[in-house]
Amino acid sequence: MTDLTPPEILQPHNQWMRFALAQAQIAYDQDEVPVGAVIVHEGRIIAEGYNQRETLNDPTAHAEMIAITQAAESLGSWRLLDCVLYVTLEPCPMCAGAIVQARIPTVIYGTTDPKAGACHSMYQITEDERLNHRCTVMGGVLREDCKSILQQFFADQRAKGKK
């Protein structure tokens, strides 16, 4: 599914995306690019993450990567079967690769990333038939909220003479 998914299909996912947006707000407050993620298993959040690249000086410290690591620890397995990843921004190639490796069956994201999106925008890593695992991916859940926090962050950064 794409960013053009009908609203009635998106509605049940809104509550979980709000938790991901709360994580994005933590990143924003720490002067990090505001992307947040949560992983849901059997109706409860088992992991959460937000971008921490600047804080940790780690190029892999994306919200999804942090959440995937937490979820694997929570379940005691690197296979995150029966999990749903909610993330405010379409995953990049690194994160999409980790999603495939973790065997996450479902990814729900808020807004597309036309410069680095690896689920729909630039690449389709999570649905690539050449790989041994594929995900169901749906974009557009709380799209405007997810897009707005990113736009505000970068406007603030430009006003401060950064980024």
Residue numbers annotated as active site? 64
Rg of the Cα atoms in the chain? 15
Read out DSSP for 20-46?
Answer: HHHHHHHHHHTTS---EEEEEETTEEE
Q: Which two tokens stand for residue 9?
A: 């299909």
Q: Which two tokens stand for residue 72?
A: 């694997």
Cα–Cα distance between 147 and 110 in angstroms, integer? 8
Q: Which two tokens stand for residue 55?
A: 């804080």
**Residue 67 · residue 49 · CB < 8 Å:** yes
| Residue 79 DSSP SS3 | coil
Q: Which two tokens stand for residue 67?
A: 């959440």
